[in-house]
Amino acid sequence: MTTHDPRLATPAWRAVRRLVLDRDLGLCQIRGPHCSKWATCVDHIVDRADGGDMFDPANLRAACRSCNGWRSAQRTNVRRGWRYRTGVASYESRL
């Protein structure tokens, strides 16, 4: 997310965030490729942009910073329709 959501600075969000981190025992629930295992973030399972509830603990899970960023990048790339190259394009020299 490029802009800061003011709801993330409210006491209600801090309480829900703490509840989710405690519920998941401070362990990352995503377990991505570079997972540190120790959760410091909370990930929305159904992204807010896709209609996911911001404050529903059932839509939240504990995540390490690496996994939270990785999942966010995946969702953004899918939403934008980006495709990654799997090879190098052919190149013809002008010489």
C-alpha closest to that of 68 among 47, 38, 48, 42:
42
Q: Give the domain CATH number at 67.
A: 3.40.1800
Q: Determine, yes or no, domain membership for 27.
A: yes
With respect to residue 69, please indicate whether it lies within any of the assigned structural domains: yes
49-86 pLDDT per residue, tens: 888 999 999 999 999 999 999 988 888 888 777 666 66
Answer whether residue 84 is part of any domain.
no
The residue behind tokens 């799997």 is 86
Q: What is the mean pLDDT of the chain?
A: 87
pLDDT of residue 14: 95
Kindly state whether residue 91 falls inside one of the protein's structural domains.
no
Residue pair 17/55 in contact by the 8 Å Cβ criterion: no
Residue 22 belongs to a domain: yes
| Per-residue pLDDT at 83 | 63
pLDDT at residue 2 in the model? 46
Amino acid at 24: D
Q: Which is more confidently placed, 90 or 73?
A: 73
Task: State how many domains the chain has.
Answer: 1
65 in any annotated domain:
yes
Residue 95 lies in a domain: no
- pLDDT value, residue 87: 64
> Which pLDDT score, from 0 to 100, does residue 1 have?
45
- Report if residue 39 sits inside a domain: yes
CA separation for the pair 94, 15 (Å, rounded)? 63
Name the residue with tokens 């090879």.
Answer: 87
Which residue range(s) make up the domain with 55?
Answer: 7-78
